[in-house]
Structure 1
């Protein structure tokens, strides 16, 4: 068993760390507070070619695997950028996997090079107000007309970066759900022109005020008679849910590494503060009540990292990785949040103040226990698919 990263992978980490260091905590705090997209950061990573790290070389990308992409996002998060930084690019990295695998050549040639060079923003439209985690319950419907075009009506919610995206990977029903039918049948995947929909008045975007990760906004997307050409459909009609599954494991793996990065950023600040802050004539880090939670955080992060690395390796080797990807997401989200919580506690009252930044890490780490899938739904997966227990939902 070889746990060492390759020279190329270590070089990726170093290069990303150096570039991310140009954008300090003050930059991210300012953009989070102002609800302002980090243009300079995004452009810097686009210019350096990082956005296309997992896009095939044929289409202008780096052609690397999920592990390399995960290392990139972990370093971004660990720099202090957290989810605000990672969310500018992780949809480009994992969300286009379905286009790579199932889109036709015209679609791949149109989208992938522009996504790789940063000139095209893409969002991912799955979640709905009345469906949530149960994607089989989506009600957004794409009706095919005699001429071949589709007309889409419905709503999506929590769509990251929709306000900046020209395209959206969208799942919608093309066949009504009927009794006795498999609930995942009858859904189709589309790559739709969001800009065109907004300009025509067929699509409305509504920003969602939220607790954290404010530099990259989330939206409700309302579609009313949104007309899209048949060429916008990805692959075969009715097989969209199966195509969607190709993105779920890499998504969990990437988000797991982002959680690790946030946890390490929070831990680093807490350790420094514990060594510098003097109370009762001694640094507070000398007290076990402060030191032990930080030591536990480091231990949990290191253990979670091993599972996350294993999941990424299995995916890149073409091996089944549902078990590992889900466990990695659960463990990393838990470890990252525990680390951020310990960092706030270490700072005491100042941990609640924006100037020390750990409150921002706390808010962003909390998100990863909810998204892209809740901790409880991961345990449902493990109980059913790993332990063989009866399905609970």
Structure 2
């Protein structure tokens, strides 16, 4: 195995780190206070070509892989944004780019992918529902046949960046369970305009990731046209799984970047802070050991994530690696941000020193986009060969 980055990968990492640091900690603190969407940095990311890293070249992208995308996200997040910034990659290069590149027809790709790469189109994904949660097969949003199209009714919850999105990737049932050959049959994927009659949304007040709003979405007999179906009618479940596994890779990259950023803030503080007239507190093992532990966890998560991305790019199964990397990274970022606050003492609880925002934002990703418990269920069943436990 060769663990060295190529010259192109190093260049991508340096570009991403430079943009991340340009829009640094103070930029994100101000956005968090105002609950303002990070439009400026996203446009800078698109202008630098980083949004299109994994989009095919014929549609304006670079035609590279998930490994290169993970490297970009990791360095952008470490520059100041933390894991919240990785959510923008989930929305656009993943829910928009990966979905369209793999499943869309030529007309759909030509229409939407260049605009996504350039920052003209923003995407959101409507999957989670109040009564389904992690159990996608229990979703109830239904697209009933209506002439040559469909009528969409139902609701979604915890959908990110709905007010800013131009397009929504919506997962709905297109067969009743009575009509289906099992629960995995009869799910379909649609890409529809966010501005549409019968579609409304309502914001959710929340602890963290405040720069990216989360919403309920309500579909009340919303018209869906034939050209808005993406992929195979009734066959969307298997197609969706591959999209969700790439989402794991981007999430892990953002968490690894967060762990690095939080550790850097804690270390810089510990090198300067003195108490009781002695040496800087960074010289004490009580400070060093927890930071060293989170660093070890983050490095392991990074390597597992790179393995998942490399397997993806080689066309090999990568679901286990993507899930394990995400589990590890959630713990690493959780510990790194918590110990950054502890290292700084009272100042860690203040907004001035940034660690509290990183902690609030990182906490979400032990629950989403897949909970720790569901990762352990997956590993126990698929890697250890144990009976399904849920």
TM-score normalised per structure 2 = 0.97
- Distance of 2:254 and 2:92 partners within structure 1: 15
2:199 to 194, 203, 211: 203
Worse-matched range after superposition: 115-124 or 100-109:
100-109
Residue 339 of structure 2 is matched in structure 1 by 342
Asked if 2 retains the 8 angstrom alpha-carbon contact of 1:125 and 1:169, the reply is yes
Counterpart residue number, 1:107: 108
The corresponding residue for 1:137 is 138
Distance 1:365 1:216 in 2: 14
Q: Does the alignment pair 1:361 with 2:358?
A: yes
- Residues 1:278 and 2:274 aligned together: yes
The answer (yes or no) to whether the contact 1:55–1:93 under 8 Å persists in 2 is yes
Compared CA separation, residues 180 and 246, structure 1 to 2 (3 A): closer
SS in 1 for 2:51: helix
User: Distance in 1 between the 2:255 and 2:83 partners?
Assistant: 8
The answer to whether 1:50 aligns with 2:50 is yes
In structure 1, which of residues 269, 290, 294 is the aligned counterpart of residue 265 of structure 2?
A: 269
Deviations 1:62-103 (A, max 9, x none): 111001111111111111101332223332111131221111
Q: Is the 8 A contact 1:32 1:84 kept in 2?
A: no
Contact 2:18 2:79 (8 Å CA) reproduced: no
Q: 1:244 maps to what in 2?
A: 240
Residue 179 of structure 1 and its aligned partner are, at CA, apart by: 9.2
Q: C-alpha distance in 2, partners of 1:182/1:153? A: 22
Aligned match of 1:184: 184
The 3-state SS of whatever aligns with 2:215 is strand
The separation in 2 between residues aligned to 1:103 and 1:114, in whole angstroms, is 15
CA contact (8 A) 1:127 1:158 kept: yes
Deviation by residue 1:209-240 (Cα, 9 ceiling, x = unmatched): 11111111111111101001111111221101
Contact 1:263/1:365 (CA < 8 Å) preserved in 2? no
1:63-212 correspondence to structure 2 within 5 Å:
63-96=63-96, 97-145=98-146, 147-178=147-178, 181-195=181-195, 197=196, 200=197, 202-212=198-208
Aligned position for 1:8: 8
Runs of 4+ with deviation above 4 angstroms: none
Deviations 1:175-216 (A, max 9, x none): 111399421111111011112x1xx3x110111111111111
Consecutive unaligned residues in structure 2, runs of 5 or more: none
CA RMSD of aligned residues (A): 1.2
- Alpha-carbon separation, structure 2, partners of 1:34 and 1:180: 47
**Partners of 1:213 and 1:163 in 2: CA distance:** 15
1:128-177, Cα deviation, whole Å (9 max, x unpaired): 111110000000000011x2121000101111111111111111001111
